[in-house]
Amino acid sequence: MKKTIIITGGAGFIGSHVVREFSIKYTDYQIINLDALTYAGNLENLKDIENKPNYHFEKADITDENKINEIFQKYQPDGVIHLAAESHVDRSISSPLDFVKTNVLGTANLLNAAKSLWNGNFEGKRFHHVSTDEVFGSLGATGFFTEETKYDPHSPYSASKAASDHFVRAYGDTFGLPFVITNCSNNYGPNHFPEKLIPLMIYNILNHNALPVYGDGNYTRDWLFVIDHAKAIDLVFHEGENGKNYNVGGFNEWKNIDLVKLLCRLMDKKLGGSEGDSEKLITFVKDRPGHDLRYAIDATKINKELGWKPSVTFEEGLAKTIDWYLENQEWLKNVTSGEYQKYYEKQYN
């Protein structure tokens, strides 16, 4: 069946992989990438598909009520896949209100536009909200986040994402708006902005800069290759049960310090340096305030109900990621010029 889908945040890291997955796989769909092109949005991420006839781009801020309604009227979407967000925890600590505005108000604005357009005629319609495991808070040494885990966000980022999830459910309960929510663990892969741990370490190793590890480095994250997240979104969007949430994760937990050391070894090998060269750059720095100790997703539900599982091992995914950064140093240079340098100085000084 033909569909028109608005994908918000399609110029960002995960969004660009979702846009690519959908525009290549569903040639009879119209895919509209709606993105404000903030510092994190980059149309270079979509160069390979930008001329496809089923791909369209609209530059718009999701908090702009008139503009969003105008775009919804113009394209009459059957579906919305909502990824646009302020996504970096450290930035949410220095500028919390930006996160409230985009992640909470922006999501409510999109829900309202969908509700007005669909006007109670919900047959074949769906709002897919892309959220995070951070809404569940922090785990101790054992246990997993399931779909039933109570929300317990700690950072302004995770609180804003939790609020946006609640708004999605409220529109479902109150107005009957059809929705699904996915809560995913840490993604990694090509096009990841180098403010986040893995690309930041790759970039700094390449430039022989210090590798800043927060606190004692014993914080734990569950890492998933970004294309596997895009595939999970495709499955849940098409086959997920209305009104439900699905956890998505890699069953792939790493302590930050172990992951950084692994990256050092892999990069030394790739760059032909001696083993141990990059590890010397590791520097323990001031901890992130309110730092969540451990995230770990139980992805049993999406596996059992929809047959999803990661297709790429961490070894394969990291190798693909490192190769991508080595082959795309121009991309890296472009995104790290200007504003990035100021951000970096402020964050790490």
Site for ligand NAD, rule CB under 6 A: 9, 11-15, 35-38, 40-41, 61-63, 83-87, 102, 106, 130, 132, 161, 184, 186-187, 193
**Chain Cα centroid distance, residue 44:** 17
If contact means CB under 5 to 8 A according to the sort of partner, which of ligand NAD, ligand DAU, none does residue 295 touch?
A: ligand DAU
Cβ neighbours of residue 223 closer than 8 Å, sequence gap 6 or more: 185, 186, 187, 188, 198, 250, 252, 254, 259, 314, 317
List the helix and strand counts (H, then E) for the chain.
13, 12
Q: How many CB atoms lie within 10 A of CB 81?
A: 27
Amino acid at 159: A
Query: In the range 254-313, which residues lie near ligand DAU by CB under 6 A?
Result: 256, 288, 295
Closest CB to ligand DAU among 58 and 195?
195
The verdict on 132 binding ligand DAU (CB under 6 A) reads yes
Q: How far is the CB of 89 from ligand DAU (least distance, A)?
A: 4
Residue nearest to ligand DAU according to CB distances in the complex = 132
Helix axes of 314-327 and 256-271: crossing angle, nearest 10 degrees: 50
304 vs 341: CA distance, rounded Å: 45
Pairing status of strand 55-59 against strand 30-35: parallel
Cα separation of 314 and 88, whole Å? 22
Residue closer to ligand NAD by CB (options 246, 278) is 246
Query: In this structure, what token pair is assigned to residue 113?
Result: 């536009």
Output 118 or 193, the one with its CB closest to ligand NAD.
Answer: 193
Name the active-site residue from 21, 58, 133, 165. 133
Q: Quick check: is 188 catalytic? A: no
Helix (H) or strand (E) segment spanning residue 92: helix 89-94
What residue 41 binds from ligand NAD, ligand DAU, none (CB within 5 to 8 A, per partner kind)? ligand NAD
Q: Which is nearer to ligand DAU, 20 or 88 (CB)?
A: 88
| Residue 219 sits in the site that holds ligand DAU (CB under 6 A) | yes
What whole-number distance in Å separates Cα of residue 294 and Cα of residue 141? Answer: 7
Q: How far is the CB of 310 from ligand DAU (least distance, A)?
A: 15
327 catalytic residue (yes or no): no
Instruction: Decide if residue 245 touches ligand DAU (CB under 6 A).
Output: no
Residue 134 annotated to the active site: yes
Neighbours of 307 (CB within 10 A): 9
Measured distance CA(308)–CA(299) in Å, rounded: 9
63 binds, among ligand DAU, ligand NAD, none (CB under 5 to 8 A by kind): ligand NAD
Determine which residue in the list 34, 60, 180, 213 makes contact with ligand DAU, applying CB under 6 A: 213
Q: Which of residues 107-126 bind ligand DAU (CB under 6 A)?
A: none
Q: Which burial class, exposed, middle or buried, applies to 202 when counting CB atoms under 10 A from its CB (0-12, 13-18, 19+)? A: buried
Toward ligand DAU, which CB reaches closer, 196 or 270?
A: 196
Contacting ligand DAU within 149-178 (CB under 6 A)? none
- Among 56, 101, 154, 196, the residue binding ligand DAU under the rule CB under 6 A is 196
Partner interacting with residue 38 (select from ligand DAU, ligand NAD, none; CB below 5-8 Å by kind): ligand NAD
DSSP letter at 297? B
92 contacts 288 by C-beta, under 8 angstroms: no
Stretch of 40-48, 56-64, 81-89, 272-280 lying at the interface with ligand DAU (CB under 6 A):
81-89
Q: What is the C-alpha separation between 285 and 219, in angstroms, rounded? A: 13
Separation CA 155–CA 85 (nearest Å): 15
Of the two residues 62 and 180, which places its CB atom closer to ligand NAD in the complex?
62
- What contacts 186, CB < 8 A, 6 or more positions away? 197, 221, 222, 223, 224, 295
In the complex with ligand DAU, the residue whose CB is nearer, 118 or 295, is: 295
Number of residues that bind ligand DAU (CB under 6 A): 19
Supply 165's token pair.
């999830």
Question: Where on the chain is the footprint of ligand DAU (CB under 6 A)?
Answer: 87-89, 132-134, 185-186, 196-197, 200, 212-214, 219, 221, 256, 288, 295
Catalytic residues: 133-134, 157
